[in-house]
Amino acid sequence: MPLTPAITDLEALKEHPAVARLRGWNSAAVEGAKFDRDEMTIYIERSCLHDACVILRDDVSCAFNYLSDVTCVDWYPSQPRFEMVYQLLSIANKERVRLKVRLSADSPVVETVTSVWPAANYFEREVFDLFGIRFTGHPYLRRIQMPEDWEGHPLRKDYPVEGYR
Amino acid sequence: MILNMGPQHPSTHGVLRLILEIDGETVVRLMPDIGYLHTGIEKTCEAKFYQQVVPLTDRIDYLCPMTNNLCYALAVEKLLGLEIPPKAQWLRVMMNELTRINSHLVWLGTHAMDIGALTVFLYCFREREDVLRLFEAISGQRMMTSYFRIGGVALEPPLGFFDRVREFANRFPSKVDEYENLLTGNPIWMMRTKGVARISAEDAIALGASGPTLRGSGVDFDLRRDMPYSSYEKFKFKVPVSQEGDVFARYICRVQELRESTAIVQQALDGMPEGPIKADAPKVVLPDREKMKTQMEAMIYHFKIITEGFAVPAGEVYQAVESPRGEMGYYVVSDGTAKPYRVHMRAACLANLQLLPKMCEGRLLADVVAAIGSIDIVLGEIDR
């Protein structure tokens, strides 16, 4: 399927059920949206993340009851440095949507979504371990892949591929 | 009492460490400790060209290597906007289903062995040997084949290959009957697996389970049927779903999947289209070896692809496939250069492992072994 240019204009995408529902609740929560390669991405403002997730899970037209993935991308040295990525799936509607939250380097903190989807537990621990992003309210935020006494966050872009040891 | 079911243990299917708090024989709390197989594959992918990442993907979930290849190749092809020819898609489906059979055979053999049925292990590995020989015939490698490349598949199947696959597919359902004969109606098996490690559909969805672990609890969702990829929409197959949510239900799901996968392989053989096995994209796909030796442009393309890679337009893609364990996803972020900016593998087993504490708390210690086997974990995928 040959590539078509991405649609990044929020006004052009406001009919999508997730975008419409979130903007109807709080138009400041949606910082932007993108439709590229048949995939919908919504940029959420950091403080609204938890409530936005509850709406997307419980709303009948969206019904994103399944959290596929939680991960992070480090855009060092650009600012805002970190971008949290949440992949949601609606089992009933067979639709996916991607939520993104931008975090700055001096405050890489975001609220956990384990109270919305308990599936986020290990995924958020992994992001904490490998990127150093703190999740407030997480039931057990400890390192999961690296040993407990490891220093540094390996998947950050300023951490060398070959490591320090 | 705190008991350590250490990383070295015959029943943990890899280097999984479980910290159990037990009261007599009853498990009070259970906590998995992972990371013993962490090799930093996601970080390594950022330092390699797109085509160099393909062999790394084989080793993530090492029991279904071609499924990993497929997921990554689909993700990068989506980023590039490549059209894959029908023969390559059908070959991918056929090899993917053979890989699913392979993976379920390992699961069945080791799961039965943990519970005590040692004969099944050798029976399953006898069939697995036939499939591994097929993989060796088509790609040169038994396990880590890297057969699916970006743009198609690596090599043309050799002469007589499809006859060998047909012969295997004709013989295999009777072998599945043999395994079921040994286990399904067996009173000991039923007592060890029925009602054990039960999980409800709501808990399974909330905790992110997928694949047979989810379908064993009654949720009818299969990515091959519901969000098809690589021409799966052209195949007819049933998706087995059980309602009870215990170890026996997941066992039944996977054994039925063995039969369904054989049916898909038969359909793929019957309808295999003709045509090229790689996409028409000289800057991305390596040229034919014979052309490279005689034509100058092919030589130059070959040189440039190997030494400089191919630039992929900026963007990001999340591609999910139905692996034998559930939803395996690859999130590939490209910044316009020849090396991926970020590759993240959504491991089906990492989410499935979150079910383990809920399944085992309050149950007997011996049921933990049955539960681990029924989730079918592969530590390579969990730890990456």
Residue B13 has pLDDT above 70, yes or no: yes
Residue A80 has pLDDT above 70, yes or no: yes
The confidence score (pLDDT) of residue A1 equals: 59
Q: Which of B80, B208, B221 sits opposite A119 (nearest CB)?
A: B208
CA distance B75 to B54: 12
Q: Which of B40, B206, B317 sits opposite A118 (nearest CB)?
A: B206
pLDDT per residue over B126-179, tens digit each? 999 999 999 999 999 899 999 999 989 999 999 999 999 999 999 999 999 999
Flag whether B217 is in a domain: yes
Flag whether B151 is in a domain: yes
Residue B74 has pLDDT above 90, yes or no: yes
Whole-Å CA distances, B198 to A87, B352, B359: 27, 14, 6
Range of the domain at B141: 38-383
Tokens 């100058």 — which residue? B296
A40 CB neighbours in chain B (<8 A) are: none
In chain B, positions 315-374, which contact chain A (CB-CB < 8 Å)? 315-318, 320, 327, 329, 331, 333, 341-342, 344, 346, 350-351, 353-354
Q: What is the mean pLDDT of residues B246-270?
A: 92
Flag whether B279 is in a domain: yes
The confidence score (pLDDT) of residue A113 equals: 92
Measured between CA atoms, the residue of chain A closest to residue B81 is: A2
Q: Residues B277, B278, B280, B284: what is their CA dihedral angle, to the nearest 10 degrees?
A: -170
E strands, chain B, where?
2-5, 17-23, 26-33, 148-149, 152-153, 315-323, 326-334, 342-346
CB contact under 8 A, A119 and B354: yes
Asked if residue B345 lies in contact with residue B372, where contact means CB atoms within 8 angstroms, the answer is no
Residue B379 has pLDDT above 70, yes or no: yes
pLDDT band, very low/low/confident/very high, at A30 (cuts 50, 70, 90): confident
Domains of chain A: residue spans and CATH:
17-136 (3.30.460.80)
**CATH code, domain carrying B356:** 1.10.645.10
Residue A165 has pLDDT above 80, yes or no: no
Closest CA to A116 of A88, A84, A85: A88
CA distance B206 to chain A (A): 5
The confidence score (pLDDT) of residue B171 equals: 93
pLDDT band, very low/low/confident/very high, at B384 (cuts 50, 70, 90): confident
Tokens 């034919």 — which residue? B288
> Beta A134-136 vs A109-111: how paired, if at all?
parallel
Q: What is the DSSP string of B262-294?
A: HHHHHHHHHTPPPS-SB-S-TTTSPPPHHHHHH
Least reliable range by pLDDT among A38-42, A72-76, B12-16, B128-132: B12-16
Give the dihedral sign, CA B216/B220/B224/B227. negative
Q: What is the mean pLDDT of residues B303-314?
A: 91
Flag whether B21 is in a domain: no
Residue B63 has pLDDT above 70, yes or no: yes
Residues 6+ apart with CB under 8 A from B171: none
Residues 6+ apart with CB under 8 A from B108: B120, B124, B179, B254, B255, B258
Q: What is the mean pLDDT of residues A111-132?
A: 92
The ipTM assigned to this model is 0.93
Please give the mean pLDDT across all residues of chain B. 91
Q: HSE of B26 in the Cβ direction (CA atoms, 13 Å)?
A: 5
Buried b vs exposed e over A4-21: b needs ≥16 C-beta within 10 Å? eeeeeebeebeebbbbeb
B312 CB neighbours in chain A (<8 A) are: none
In chain A, positions 63-102, which contact chain B (CB-CB < 8 Å)? 65-69, 71, 73-74, 85, 87, 89, 91, 94, 96, 98
Give the dihedral sign, CA B79/B84/B88/B93. positive
Flag whether B163 is in a domain: yes
Residue B109 has pLDDT above 70, yes or no: yes
CB contact under 8 A, B44 and A119: no
CA distance B217 to B152: 36
pLDDT per residue over A1-18, tens digit each? 577 887 877 777 778 888
Measured between CA atoms, the residue of chain B closest to residue A146 is: B35
Asked if residue B84 lies in contact with residue B279, where contact means CB atoms within 8 angstroms, the answer is yes
Selected for mutation to probe chain A from B19, B43, B78, B354 (highest A CB count within 10 Å) is: B43
CA distance B131 to chain A (A): 31
Whole-Å CA distances, B70 to A121, B134, B221, B286, B319: 27, 18, 20, 18, 10
CB contact under 8 A, B351 and A154: no
Closest CA to A12 of A36, A42, A41, A33: A33
CA distance B42 to chain A (A): 8
Give chain B's domain count: 1
A35 CB neighbours in chain B (<8 A) are: none
CA distance B262 to chain A (A): 26
Flag whether B143 is in a domain: yes
Q: How many CB pairs under 8 A join A and B?
A: 102
Asked if residue B20 lies in contact with residue B32, where contact means CB atoms within 8 angstroms, the answer is no
Selected for mutation to probe chain B from A39, A43, A76, A89 (highest B CB count within 10 Å) is: A89
Flag whether B377 is in a domain: yes
pLDDT band, very low/low/confident/very high, at B300 (cuts 50, 70, 90): very high
